[in-house]
Each structure stands twice: as structure tokens, then as C-alpha cells.
Amino acid sequence: MPFITAPQQLTKTVELLDVRGQQAPWSTGVVLVRGHEVAIVETGHTSCGARIVKELEKREIAPEAVRYILVTHRHGDHCGGATPLARALPNVTVAGHKHTIATLRDPTRLNEGARKLFGRYTEEVQPLPPEAATRELQDGDVLDLGGDVKIEVIGVPGHTSDHLAYLEQRSGTLYTGDAAGLVGRQYHSVIPTSFPPSFQYATYRSSLERLRERTPRIVAFAHAGAVTGSDVPLILSRALSTLDEWRDVVETAWRTSKSQNAVAQAVRDRFLGELDAFPAEARSFFLQVLALGFLSSLFPDAT
């Protein structure tokens, strides 16, 4: 299964960028969608905002030409760059789910939770400027960039309740955010994004099914890269089968041990070698967090 692991033009209207989330190369992907106007789909961490501005400059895209910043959900590694971008782009509207927009207006609670859960692996989200234009999006909305370039909004809760995916209709390019998992570039594994406290297994699975049913021609992932053509149904099917394998591992470990540590160890033993979406030194830590989120969803009284 070929996997696009370098920034490049995906279609005539969609370009994949590397904005170095976690301060590491190719850990966070963002897409530019260009019609008569421009949309930035996803923003990465706060520090990624300045990198996106530089990418616009390299392409001689005027700040005034950017119409939308489209955010998938309220986690800091996805929404953090929206604030510096809103300051730098005079005509832009920051768009996302109503809970995402509310979080960007006041990220206090998000920042507190992220520091507690992720420690040094997080960046603080700054509040949007009071004057920043925003738009609350819903499932089924369509944003017209002109030139027959339109982006459809798809509601895909489960990773978080406010998660949205974005489909550029003409090319069939789907940006999944965290709704379809973390894709390993070496083994093409798909690790579910089961971060607590928001992950809900059944809802996440239904959203994945919905994305697969849309039969996109290209799928771009937030962490990071893309697949195309006949590999698209394969990677989405793999995401579903791996999700269910995680369920089985977590259920078996919990029912056998009634121990959070044992569940985390079972997940690390089975999946650590497949998690190459994060820097090597961070993988064990993130797997432990993901295991806790999965356990919390399946057995709410366990945590």
C-alpha cells in the first residue's frame, strides 16, 4: 500500500503541507484548498500557525485571499494555529463546530486539561482575538470557494463530540482530522485516536463507517500523509478492523486483571511496534493515554 509521506500537490486544487506539529517533521499535515478563494483545512499546534503563514508566502498567496480556516475539532494540536492565523489573515473566517469555536474563544479549560494529560507534549492555545470572524458549521454545510471548488462538512463525532471532517467535492479529497486514526507510515497500521475523556468507541466506529460509505478518492490524515485510489477503501477498512482489535485487547485485559496498568501494558505489548505517527520517545506514553481512553469508553466505572 503506497502512502504519501511528503508534502505535495494532491490534486489541482488541494495541496498537502507539513507544519511540524510536536516540533517534529511530518507529524501534522494541513491541506490548502484553492478555488477563487483559499481555505486552510486544519491548523495544528499554536506554533504551526506561523509555519502555515510562511507556506502561504512561499506560494505567493496573498493574506487577503484566504477565506476560511476550517478546524476539525477542539484539541490543541488541531485548533491551536487558528489564533495566530486569524491575526495574520485579514479577511479570514475561523469555522468549525460550535463547541470548537467556543473553545477557541476561551481555551482555559482546554489548556488546563491538556497540561494535566499530556504535560510537555502540549502547547497552550491562545484565545481568538475578539474581532475575529467565526462561523459555526454543521453536518451537511457546503462552503463555496469559487471556480467549482466546494468543501462539504461531515459530522464525525467519537474522537470528540465536535469533530468535523471536510470533503473537497470535485476531487473527492477527504480530510479526516482524527476521525480515522493515526496512520503508521512504515507498516500502514491505523491506531485509533482514543484520547480521554472524549473518546466514545461506538460513536467513533459509526463515524468511520460513514466516512467509508462516502467512497472518497483521496484521504488525508492529520498525523500525517495521505492515501489515494484503490488504497482508500483498504486503509479505512483497516481502521475499522484495528479499532475492533483494540476493543478485544482492552476488554480481555480488563476482565482478566481489573487493572488500568495491565490494560495499558497489553496495548503496548500488541501495538507499540505499529505506532510510528509520533516521535519514538513519545510512543509508549501516548499508547498508555490511548489505552486509558479506550478503557474509559468501554468500562466507564474503571477509571
* Count of beta carbons in the 10 Å neighbourhood of residue 210: 16
CATH class of 8-232: alpha beta
Res 69 pLDDT > 90:
yes
Q: What is the pLDDT of residue 27?
A: 84
Alpha-carbon distance of 264 to 281, in angstroms, equals 17
Alpha-carbon distance of 18 to 218, in angstroms, equals 17
Confidence of residue 164 (pLDDT cuts 50, 70, 90): very high
Rg (CA), the chain: 18
Average pLDDT, the chain: 95
Nearest to 272 by CA among 285, 262, 260: 285
For residue 29, the surrounding DSSP H or E stretch is: strand 29-34
Which residues are CB-neighbours of 151 under 8 A, at least 6 positions away? 33, 39, 41, 68, 70, 142, 143, 145, 166, 167, 168, 169
**Predicted TM-score (pTM) of this structure:** 0.96
Domain boundaries, the chain: 8-232
Span 196-253, pLDDT tens digits: 999 999 999 999 999 999 999 999 999 989 999 999 999 999 999 999 999 999 999 9
Which residues are CB-neighbours of 227 under 8 A, at least 6 positions away? 1, 2, 3, 4, 183, 218, 219, 234, 235
Q: What is the mean pLDDT of residues 251-261?
A: 97
Confidence of residue 187 (pLDDT cuts 50, 70, 90): confident
Q: What is the mean pLDDT of residues 147-171?
A: 98
Res 1 pLDDT > 70:
no
Q: What is the pLDDT of residue 274?
A: 86
* Count of beta carbons in the 10 Å neighbourhood of residue 131: 7
For residue 104, the surrounding DSSP H or E stretch is: helix 98-105
Q: Which three cell numbers stand for residue 90?
A: 485579514
Biggest alpha carbon distance in the chain? 59
Q: What is the mean pLDDT of residues 106-116?
A: 96
Confidence of residue 35 (pLDDT cuts 50, 70, 90): very high
